[in-house]
Amino acid sequence: MSEKIFVIGANGQIGTELVLALRGIYGAEQVIASDINNPNEALRNSGPFEFANVLDKENLHALFQKHQPTQVYLLAAILSAVGEQKPKLAWDLNMNGLIHVLDLAVEFKVAKVFWPSSIAVFGPHSPRQNTPQYCVMDPNTVYGFSKLAGERWCEYYHAKYGLDVRSIRYPGLISWKAAPGGGTTDYAIHIFHEALKTGTYQSFLSADTRLPMMYMDDAIRATISLMDAPTEQISIRSSYNLAGMSFTPTELAEQIKQRLPDFTITYADNDPRQAIANSWPQSIDDSQAQTDWKWQPEYDLNALTDTMLKNLQNTLVL
């Protein structure tokens, strides 16, 4: 059967790269990108695009009717830092957007749905090192508890309606093709831009704030391999823990300094994102993903630093 893939929220950091990867695999015409905003250049130039608002179920219904997707990726969301500024909107979008898509996926018999969760589902009472798949989860950001509730809905739709929905708890994702979307881990992208543009960066997280991170190519590869895995290998229908690397702003700055010796870093006091980072894991146990669908990351901190600097050097207008 030929696939028709509908990507909602395609204009964001993950969506931009995922659409390009899926178009490479399935063909440009088979992958419909959609977003509430105008498409960025990469999307516009590479295949079909529709405007979609996940809070408008009629609009979504018409798009499902028109395209009859076999796979849906729902990426539209408000992330952790912006979510704390707009808590009700973040809840509405992250929750009702998901429920709309799950309902339509059941109605239109969509074969597979992907929805991203996050390390933000953990909270201050979760173990912070090697955070296991199952443990105390008491997220204290709207983003975090909207993702945790979303995981419960995904598992519920799978159990109750047989919907083949799959999910990953992404760590902080680092990439150079599209801008990050207002999260707590965004410093690890801004730092590369500023290192090349100005030679200095003020981190909004403190020197020793360790967080789980991943280079975007690994995240896209994980997503596609989870979606390709045979159904019987998927033992988790809430969301899989996934790990790449963990580092602090100081460790990242050291890596940059090895390549740009004049680079300097300073640290802000009292940024509201610090409290969010303090409630999140420092490292993640992803053994279930390794067992179920053979997950292995390819990028470590060294490879990440090389790749980010090389690509931004070629693309940034300095």
- Closest contact distance (angstroms) between CB of 182 and ligand SER is 7
Which CB sits closer to ligand SER, 79 or 113?
A: 79
Task: Let me know if 3 is exposed, middle or buried by CB neighbors in 10 A (0-12, 13-18, 19+).
Answer: middle
Neighbouring C-beta atoms of residue 45, cutoff 10 Å: 9
Among this protein's residues, is 161 annotated catalytic? no
Establish how many alpha carbons lie within 13 A of residue 240's alpha carbon, considering only the half-sphere containing its beta carbon.
Answer: 27
Size of the site for ligand SER (CB under 6 A): 11
Instruction: Give the contact letters, 119-158, x = binds to ligand SER (CB under 6 A), - = no.
Output: xx----------------------x---------------
Pairing of strands 5-8, 71-74: parallel
Q: Is residue 80 part of the contact set for ligand SER (CB under 6 A)?
A: yes
Which CB sits closer to ligand SER, 100 or 273?
A: 273
Residues contacting residue 199 through CB under 8 Å, at least 6 positions apart: 260, 262, 263, 264
- Tell me which of 143, 201, 267, 299 is the catalytic residue: 143
- At what angle are helices 249-259 and 187-197 packed, to 10 degrees? 30
Stretch that binds ligand SER, among 17-25, 124-132, 182-190, 218-226 (CB under 6 A): 182-190
Residues contacting residue 62 through CB under 8 Å, at least 6 positions apart: none
Stretch that binds ligand SER, among 14-22, 178-186, 252-260, 292-300 (CB under 6 A): 178-186
Element (H, E) at 56: none
In this chain, which residue has its C-beta nearest to ligand SER? 183
Residues that bind ligand SER (CB under 6 A): 79-80, 118-120, 143, 170, 172, 183-185
Q: Which residues are catalytic?
A: 143
